[in-house]
Amino acid sequence: MFNLTNLVQKAQQLIEPTLSIAGPTSSERDRRPSKATLFRHQFRLPESQSPLQEITAELTLSPHHTTRGTPGDVTSPEKERGQGNHYVGKLHLSEQYLCFSTQGSSFLNSASLSSSSSFTGQTHGAGPAGNGFTLPLCAIRRVERLHSQSYMFALAITTWNGLADSKSKNAVPSGQKLTVQLAGSRIQCERFCDGLKKGLREGVREVENLRAVVMQCYSEYLLSEDGDDKSHGDGGKKTREHPDTGLGMVFKYPGNARKLRDATKIRLWREYLRENGRSATLIRQPTFHKLIRVGLPNRLRGEIWELTSGAFFLRLQNPKLYTETLAKYSGRESLAIDEIEKDLNRSLPEYPGFQSEEGIGRLRRVLTAYSWTNADVGYCQAMNIVVAALLMYVRPWLTLILSNTSRYQSETQAFFLLSILCDRLLPGYYSTTMYGTLLDQRVFESLVEKTMPILWDHLVKYDVQLSVVSLPWFLSLYINSMPLIFAFRVLDVFFLEGPKVLFQIGLAILRINGEELLDATDDGTFISVLKSYFARLDESAHPKSENPKLRAVTRFQELMVVAFKEFAGITQNTISEQRAKHKDLVLANIESFAKRTSIRNLGPESKRLSVNDLSFLYDRFFATVYAREQRALIMQQEADRKAKAGKAKATEIVTGFAGSSVEQGRVGLGPSDTQMDYDGFREFLAGIAKWAVTDSPSPPPESNGTQSPHSYFGGSTRTRPPMSQWGSGPEPADHDFMKRLFRRWDTDMTDALTLQNVVTGFAQVKGTKDIMSNISYFFELYDDDGDGRVDREGILRISEALLFLSRRGLGDTASPSPSLTDLHAGSPERGNRDEQFLSSVSAFIRRCFEYADPDHPSNQGNRDVDEVKDDLDNFAIGADDEDDLIDFGSEPNTPVANSPSQSKHHTKTPLSPVTSTTNPLTPTQSNSSDKDRHLKAKEANLALDPNKPLHITLPTFRMVILADEILEQFFEIGFSASFKLADAPLPSSASSSSNLTTFSNAGKQVAANAAVGMAGVVGGAGAGVVPPGKGLRGMLDNIVSDGMRVAAEVRRRMDEAQKEMDREAKSGQGRERDEDDEEEERGEVGAKDADLLEGAETADVDTRSGSTPDLLGAPQEGTEVKTTRNRSASDASRRVLEFER
């Protein structure tokens, strides 16, 4: 029973990640953030953490005088129960953290496996509000199970509080102790403890790391400073230097420290920290929240911001990311860097720190590093102001004792704060479309409408747009709107309680100024009312009051009270709901704007396509790209899930927090320079041209070339139907022609196409009605070196391409021409036309070879015409069967008979004039004895002799095409008509998709994983080829594949001939030598094989022998874990799990 539920739970945890990335395509329900996301947000944990266990518990904090007791001193819980503070809440365990919060929160997976908001309580992942703690497991020094009544399960946790002090051997670290009573069944409790034990064991490795990070915290300095801690300890302590707490240390903090009562605040905080732990081991009690509401003291501000925002945990996880990023990209240039450079002198320029090179340098480095770690966001104006503000308070030690000494290290705090801000607290604010900013403005407006209807009506009446006024508040976190000292106080609360704070403050501003705002009838007045309000925030809110206490209340204090009392009802949940409500509209607006912009900016080439076509291409392009991205993401998740040994992920911090919580897959969300790789191009084409759909869908798709999708959907069948690399759309073909088209369109040689590339490409293919330029275009596709010639290989490739393009029939695509209909009247003829196309292609090959020029005209052989003729006969005979098949139907090759060829009687003389002997690689040709010996082979080879280079030129190619009516038609309209854009709607269901004009529609199409749309397109195309019920289709397929076989056969023979020639060229001595070579070669390979195998074996052995001891040794060495000493056999006895360093 227990096992079963456990299993179900595990399975759900595994399934879950996909829900969070389901994106805009999935239903409303799935779009809600996953529980894991909510959990991480609630405790501000890195992306690598997931809610493994949770249990209801009571936290007991010992009274102050015992907090610094020695670790061995364990008070019995019974005795403690009476004293100290008790909090009931939920205890959560993740991979590396133990968290407790009194605020109702649950992240357990319910049976429905949905991720609804109801179960998360009111916080909705708001942030570490409520009382409790977020303890890195490595900060826990010791966990003991306490004696207790049988129904109780109590743990005493001792932390590494004051870690930095414990460096010297003798010093007793001022461990801090808390007691947690678990409330749950024995099994639940045991399970929780097992998980905890495991996590603690792993955490031991991180202790040094933790120490390094903690050492940089001001709190350590603050608490060591007061000496009483261990005044009798070692002498080394006194040398502790004052940590660098931001630019403010050097350039003064904004505001008057006296007026801000900074010293008093510091004293209060010292007291609080001493009793409740510092940095990593801090415990949140009611006083903590109060202390934050009254404003943080300057020197501690950075550290508390870091803690409450969770940036601390990111830094803990990857202390070197910042330095490494800067080092890695040093000297590199980017658009973001240019933009940053322009703004450096415009970031709080009035602050002395930013008039100095030092301050500017810090600002530059933090912004630059972030732009590299999150290239999608890069740099957005307003980030400069936010970072500038952060840098005033944020900076760890100048002289780092434990971490590396790079000077860059010092801005790490600011860097992670910025990361947290951009990626979590202000999602989408600074993205390339700024959708988060626009969305939150919409949310803000709707909240104003709800809470202040009269003001709202007034705004509507006078057409004053609130968002133009409030946008800067949100975008720069009030830093640019209020005097700095007040903006920082908003930030203090914001980092702790999350984005809702911005809304609460904004609403309060409007409420307080309501009267005056009701008089404002235009933007100007509206703005000036607020401007003067901000300028007088430090004045008394009630200057005329009799009550001196009331008089002392400043306008800012009033603002805080209104914000957090009157608008207490605005919770994170409210914001989330409103965001969900308005999201689609906001994104649709952005997208339609982006689409208009993008289409207008496509340049003059694009004018050759209709607006509808452009619109269609735009939709289709992004639909394809995003559908692919989404699929890749899902597959990646699946792969990750499989590889979930649970260890690798900790390193992936960058991708980690930019990852699953961020939705992807919409123009409105993402960066605008989207590109499509070759596979994407194939998929794109498959939805537009029916020839681009593969004949042989995978699995094992031969047409897939090097792309092996197997690895992708290896184990995915477990939870859902296997996902193809192509989604539910048709699997695209992979043909040389498509590659060539791709390369041709990829004018910037980036191995990827932009929308611009695609549009320009289509403008060339479809934008011209001129047959000559179409022919040239095709020719150029195959003129690899651009010398105006296409060689034998190219000719064969062209014919292959023609067969490829026509294999699903061209009848319907060519039919628009009335002349054609006249020629081959009636639809029953369509089959015939397709057959005729085949014979045209075969005639094409013949004619090409016939009219081809040899590469060395001077040596043109008039040598043995008869001999050549014989060869040709041989070839023709060899190819006879296929020819018959191809020549089925009419006789399109009659013109060949009239051609001015030297051949006298045979119409099948594709290679006639070419018997050059000039190739130095084939000396045997002039050697008659050799010729005798290999006559048979050469008869075949000569015809296809790859060593007799020949080529056709564009005029020849043109002539050959124009000589054939069907090919002519193909180049006139057929080819360009084979791409179905908006203006040439496909027969059946596809027409609906061609009517799409806005991307939002297409977005919804992606929503269904482009399933309906794409399936529709293909279905329509397929249905259009042959009227249902006619047996023609099957027949045609045979012919087509036969045609392909001809081409394949031709190729095979060429290859053989090539091999033959190579062999002969290698030696003048003949076949004995050949055999020797071969023999030798075979021998060699065998030897090598053996070597290889041996190598593999030893490697195998090596890895095995290398890894085994490590694995076994891990628990014994490296960590000094005295594991689970069972002091008594009884269950109720005390278990100690000690971690000592």
Partner 1 sequence: MADSGASQPKPSSSVKLVLLGEAAVGKSSLVMRFVNNDFQENKEPTIGAAFLTQKCNLPTRTIKFEIWDTAGQERFASLAPMYYRNAQAALVVYDITKPSSLTKAQHWVAELQRQASPGIVIALVGNKYDLASPSGGDNAEDADAAPAAEGENPEEEDSADARRVPTKTAKAYADEESLLFFETSAKTGMNVAEVFTAIANAIPETSLKGPRGVGGQTNLNRQEDARVNLTGGRAEGPKEGCAC
Q: What count of Cα atoms within 13 Å lies in the side-chain half-sphere of residue 835?
A: 22
Residues 434-473 that bind partner 1 (CB under 8 A): 434-435, 437-438, 441, 461-463, 465, 467-468, 471-472
Distance CA 308, CA 126 (A): 11
In terms of CB distance, is 347 or 903 closer to partner 1?
347
Nearer to partner 1, 461 or 544 (CB): 461
Output the smallest distance, CB 605 to partner 1, in A: 13
CB of 1058 to partner 1, least distance (A): 51
Choose, by CB under 8 A, the member of 220, 343, 731, 812 that binds partner 1: 343
Q: How distant is the alpha carbon of residue 815 from its chain centre?
A: 44
Contact 552, 539 (CB under 8 A): no
Give CA–CA dist 275/604, Å, rounded: 71
Which residue in 600, 647, 718, 769 binds partner 1 (CB under 8 A)?
600
> Rounded CA gap, 1131 and 150, in Å?
9
Residues 533-592 touching partner 1, rule: CB under 8 A, are: 589-590
524 binds partner 1 (CB under 8 A): yes
> Which range, of 514-522, 617-625, 859-867, 1125-1133, touches partner 1 by CB under 8 A?
514-522
Residue 924 sits in the site that holds partner 1 (CB under 8 A): no
Q: What is the DSSP string of 161-207?
A: TTGGGGGSSSPPP---EEEEEEES-HHHHHHHHHHHHHHHHHHGGGH
Residue 17: asked if its preceding bond is cis (omega within 30°), the reply is no
Q: Which of 114, 356, 381, 953 touches partner 1 (CB under 8 A)?
A: 381
Interface pick for partner 1 out of 229, 339, 652, 1056 (rule CB under 8 A):
339
Nearer to partner 1, 436 or 499 (CB): 436
Which is nearer to partner 1, 21 or 348 (by Cβ)?
Answer: 348
Q: Helix 466-475 crosses helix 435-451 at what angle (to 10 degrees)? A: 120
Shortest CB 576 distance to partner 1, Å: 22
CB of residue 717 vs partner 1: minimum separation in angstroms?
Answer: 42
Give the alpha-carbon dihedral of 748, 749, 754, 756, to 10 degrees. Answer: 30
Burial of 453 (0-12, 13-18, 19+ CB in 10 A): exposed
Q: 3-state secondary structure string, 903-939?
A: CCCCCCCCCCCCCCCCCCCCHHHHCHHHHHHCHHHHH
> Between residues 202 and 605, which has the closer beta carbon with respect to partner 1?
605
Q: Which is nearer to partner 1, 234 or 519 (CB)?
A: 519
Residue 1114 engages partner 1 in binding (rule: CB under 8 A): no
Stretch of 235-243, 303-311, 594-602, 908-916 lying at the interface with partner 1 (CB under 8 A): 594-602
Site size for partner 1, by CB under 8 A?
46
Does position 368 bind partner 1 by CB under 8 A? no
Q: Does residue 1000 touch partner 1 according to CB under 8 A? A: no
Say how far apart CA 53 and CA 190 lie, in whole Å.
11
Establish if 355 lies at the interface with partner 1 (CB under 8 A): no
* Nearer to partner 1 (CB atom), residue 134 or residue 347: 347
Tell me how far, at minimum, the Cβ of 246 lies from partner 1, in Å: 20
Smallest distance, Å, CB 380 to partner 1? Answer: 6
- Residue 475-504 contact track with partner 1, rule CB under 8 A, x = bound: xx---x------------------------
Contact residues for 999 (Cβ-Cβ < 8 A; gap 6+):
591, 592, 594, 595, 618, 619, 622, 667
- Pick the closer one to partner 1 by CB: 587 or 686: 587
Q: Is the Cα torsion angle 336, 337, 339, 343 positive or negative in sign?
A: positive
Q: Give Cα separations from 1006 to 23, 223, 621, 1033 (angstroms).
A: 11, 57, 11, 32
Nearer to partner 1, 10 or 596 (CB): 596
SS3 of residue 1137 by DSSP: strand
70, 185, 521, 747: which one binds partner 1 (CB under 8 A): 521
* Among 190, 523, 538, 584, contact with partner 1 (rule: CB under 8 A): 523
**In degrees to the nearest 10, what's the CA dihedral of 499, 505, 511, 517?**
-100
Applying CB under 8 A, among 70, 597, 696, 1133 the residue interacting with partner 1 is 597
385 contributes a contact to partner 1 by CB under 8 A: yes
At residue 1029, what is the residue type?
Answer: G
**DSSP letter, residue 722:** P
Out of 601, 651, 708, 1103, point to the residue binding partner 1 (CB under 8 A): 601
d(CA 227, CA 242): 14
The span from the CA of 741 to the CA of 728, in Å, is 25
User: Of residues 76, 168, 185, 345, which one binds partner 1 by CB under 8 A?
Assistant: 345
Q: Smallest gap, in angstroms, from Cβ of residue 593 to partner 1?
A: 6
Nearest distance from C-beta of residue 478 to partner 1, angstroms: 11
| 371 forms part of the interface with partner 1 (CB under 8 A) | no
Single residue of 10, 64, 346, 1125 touching partner 1 by CB under 8 A = 346
Q: Print the SS3 string covering 760-801.
A: HHHHHHHCCCCHHHHHHHHHHHHCCCCCCEEEHHHHHHHHHH
119: contact with partner 1 by CB under 8 A: no
Are 430 and 382 contacting, i.e. CB atoms less than 8 angstroms apart?
yes
User: Where on the chain is the footprint of partner 1 (CB under 8 A)?
Assistant: 339, 343, 345-349, 380-382, 384-385, 431-435, 437-438, 441, 461-463, 465, 467-468, 471-472, 475-476, 480, 519, 521-525, 527, 589-590, 593-594, 596-597, 600-601
